Structure 1
Amino acid sequence: MRERYASGISDDTAKQMIDLLNANLANVIDLTLDGKQCHWNLQGTGFIGVHQLLDETSDRILEVSDTIAERIVILGGQPNGLASRVVKESILDDYPTDITEVDQHVRELTNRYKKVAEALREAIATAGEAGDEDTADLFTEASRIIDKDAWFIGANAPKK
């Protein structure tokens, strides 16, 4: 382990949090890439609004991944955002490449955002139980951002 900059946290807790943070980093990176896949391939009614929204959501989720990676370093670990690791460890299935319509992408991407947010909420509980309130707070803020973006994206789905 590298030098740890967070005090008051045991080595065992730091290691547990590094693993938890890296697991969620893989999910967030995968979600970012899914958003870009959607951004590049959507077509149809409402295209431009969703296309522009996805630029904004991608920027926010990149900030989330940076914050997670920085916390890993603070705890003495090494962030691992390599594509091969993301493929192996993300909770998300491969993004479908056979869809093009805005409503299809909106539904798919919204469900992915919700799944990552759910994992983040589980991580909040785990970090809190481990006594690392700073990491729990980081996960709380990340889940708020992802929940809000799921709502922004999902609001573009056609009403049934």
Structure 2
Amino acid sequence: MSQQEESVHRTFGSVEENALRIPEDKAEQIIDALNADLADTYVLYHQLKKHHWNVAGAEFLELHEFLGDAAYHAEEGADELAERLQALGGTPAAGFDQIQDAATVTPEGEDVYTIRASLENDLEIYGDIIESLRDHVELAQNLGDHATAEILREILVEVEEDAHHVEHYLENDTLVAETAQ
């Protein structure tokens, strides 16, 4: 048996009693929802970083900075989600396999796309995350976990703001059009 197997403190997917006094059956539902949100946020984070690294063109600097900031916002949201689900007695999805299994969004391919296509792909993931967060605010509220609902609302505000900025970048009078050669 490996040293790693011998020192497991909590098995991923298990739910322990929590000091927040949320019953385990309710906590389990909320933890599953938060892990899906966490996994989706990780997917968005990595895609935003990819676009941050690869953006080019006339609006490079502004987009480079925005994408860096948006990735930072996603990272902050992921941290809030992970800490809350741990406080509820769960284990945050952190390994590649757990993230892939829990994610409900699909990242774009590994290729580098035009910035317009990249932002359209980002906006699609943002939209999916927004819908999920709204559903999970309601779930947490209905299960009596008002603090988790509030945390999700705060994350939702930031996600919606960044999505709205992406939407502005995709307007017809922005992102200098590529010319055919």
After TM superposition, the score normalised by the length of structure 1 is: 0.90
Moved more, 84-93 or 51-60: 84-93
Give the corresponding residue for 1:65: 78
Alignment of 1:36-115 (within 5 A): 36-115=49-128
CA distance in 2, matches of 1:97, 1:41: 12
% of aligned pairs identical? 27
CA distance in 1, matches of 2:61, 2:163: 18
Corresponding letter in the other structure for 2:101: K
CA distance in 1, matches of 2:29, 2:103: 18
1:33 aligns with 2:46: yes
Instruction: Look at both structures and tell me which one has the larger radius of gyration over its CA atoms.
Output: 2
CA distance in 2, matches of 1:156, 1:76: 40
Give the corresponding residue for 1:157: 170
- Encode CA deviations 1:53-73: one digit per residue, 9 max, x unaligned: 111111111111111111111
Where in structure 2 are there 5+ consecutive unaligned residues?
A: 1-14, 174-181
Where in structure 1 are there 5+ consecutive unaligned residues?
A: none
Give the corresponding residue for 1:6: 20
- Shift of the alpha carbon at 1:143? 1.1
- Tell which has more relative contact order, 1 or 2 (C-alpha 8 A, sep 6+): 1
After TM superposition, the score normalised by the length of structure 2 is: 0.80
Backbone CA RMSD of aligned residues: 1.7
- Shift of the alpha carbon at 1:99? 4.4
CA distance in 1, matches of 2:56, 2:118: 9
CA distance in 2, matches of 1:158, 1:96: 24
Alignment length (residue pairs): 159
- Shift of the alpha carbon at 1:28? 0.8
Q: Is the 8 A contact 1:124 1:139 kept in 2?
A: yes
Q: Is the 8 A contact 2:41 2:74 kept in 1?
A: yes
1:18 aligns with 2:31: yes
Cα 1:152–1:99 shift into 2, 3 Å: same
